[in-house]
């Protein structure tokens, strides 16, 4: 295998958001033998750069579910290969629907993540996923004014609530409005530009690097990983993955708590 594409939360990282030592060792060995490491995640580019810095290695990033494709060296972005901004109309619709349901919005751009809450206090989930955002609180009116006049743009909208029924209601509203959304966790529903996902972005990167998809091994655990596993030569689901993810995977490894990524990568060293 020439390239490995790896999801972070629930896959490479353990429940506390750390990289198990065995995973680190396997990634370094894969890198040293000439393999290309790609971190493919719903997390923002700011967060993924920190993970690469912790690993002390270089590679590529499919951040924000593939909406931001970049090369990272020494913990910094050296080149942005592709980014997919969400259309202004979609942002306006999504903000309006989230406000109707009362679900927190986290809108990602390159330099920060803008948060809008509709409760007395921000609705937070105690998880490493929430901690990765570089948050600045704002209002719908303020942000939409900037979006509509072209001052800012977003490549991912994340919707967070501890009430899964509210998220399900929001997803139904998105479906009715023709807005595609994907779950990255039970408490997170996310929207990118139409047609953007980890699978399409991984295909783009493999083509850019002149690597046959059959020479790619990908790892994931959530709904947003399905397309990526499908386009890879070997799609690997974690033991802790959702059943739909396991159903399309060619291989199932041990859980993220047991360094399941390393267990498979070692087969290719």
Give domain limits for the chain: 3-83+196-268, 88-192
Give the containing element (helix H, strand E) for 188.
Answer: strand 188-191
Look-up of token digits 């397309």? 227
pTM (two decimals): 0.88
Alpha carbon distances (Å) from 85 to 37, 47, 71, 171, 249: 25, 19, 18, 20, 30
| Per-position DSSP letters for the chain, written without gaps between them | --EEEE-IIIIIS-TTS---HHHHHHHHHHHHTTPEEEEE-SS-HHHHHHHHHHHT--EEEEEGGGTEEEEEETTEEEEEEEE-PPPHHHHHHHHHHHHHHT-EEEEE-SS-EEEE--SSS----SSHHHHT--EEE--HHHHHHHHHTTS---SEEEEE-S-HHHHHHHHHHHHHHT---EEEETTEEEE-STT-SHHHHHHHHHHHTT--GGGEEEEE-SGGGHHHHHHSSEEEE-TTS-HHHHHH-SEE---GGGTHHHHHHGGG-
Question: For all residues of the chain together, what is the average pLDDT?
Answer: 94
Task: Tell me the CATH architecture of domain 3-83+196-268.
Answer: 3-Layer(aba) Sandwich (3.40)
Residue 98: predicted pLDDT: 97
Give pLDDT tens digits for 142-185. Answer: 999 999 999 999 999 999 998 999 999 999 999 999 999 999 88
**Tens-digit pLDDT profile for residues 239-260:** 999 999 999 999 999 999 999 9
Residues of the chain short of pLDDT 70, as ranges, are 119-129
Q: Give the β-pairing of 156-160 and 188-191.
A: antiparallel
Q: CATH assignment of 88-192?
A: 3.30.1240.10
């Amino acid at each position: 295998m020439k390239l490995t594409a790896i999801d972070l939360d629930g896959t490479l990282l353990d429940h506390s958001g750390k990289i198990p030592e065995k995973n680190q060792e396997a990634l370094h060995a894969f890198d040293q033998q000439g393999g290309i490491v790609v971190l493919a995640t719903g997390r923002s580019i700011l967060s993924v750069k920190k993970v690469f810095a912790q690993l002390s290695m270089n590679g590529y990033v499919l951040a924000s579910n593939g909406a931001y494709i970049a090369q990272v060296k020494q913990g910094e972005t050296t080149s942005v290969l592709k980014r997919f901004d969400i259309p202004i109309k979609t942002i306006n619709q999504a903000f309006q629907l989230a406000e109707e349901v009362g679900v927190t919005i986290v809108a990602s751009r390159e330099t920060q993540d803008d948060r809008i809450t509709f409760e007395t206090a921000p609705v937070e989930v105690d998880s490493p996923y929430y901690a990765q955002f570089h948050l600045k609180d704002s209002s719908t009116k303020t942000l939409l004014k900037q979006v509509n006049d072209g001052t800012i743009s977003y490549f991912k909208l994340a919707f967070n609530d501890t009430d899964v029924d509210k998220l399900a209601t929001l997803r139904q509203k998105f479906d009715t409005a023709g807005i595609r959304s994907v779950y990255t966790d039970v408490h997170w529903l996310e929207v990118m530009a139409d047609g953007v996902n980890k699978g399409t972005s991984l295909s783009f990167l493999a083509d850019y690097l002149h690597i046959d998809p059959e020479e790619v091994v990908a790892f994931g655990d959530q709904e947003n990983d399905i397309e990526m596993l499908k386009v890879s030569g070997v799609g690997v689901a974690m033991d802790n993955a959702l059943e739909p993810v396991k159903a399309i995977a060619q291989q199932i490894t041990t859980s993220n708590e047991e360094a399941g990524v390393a267990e498979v990568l070692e087969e290719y060293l």
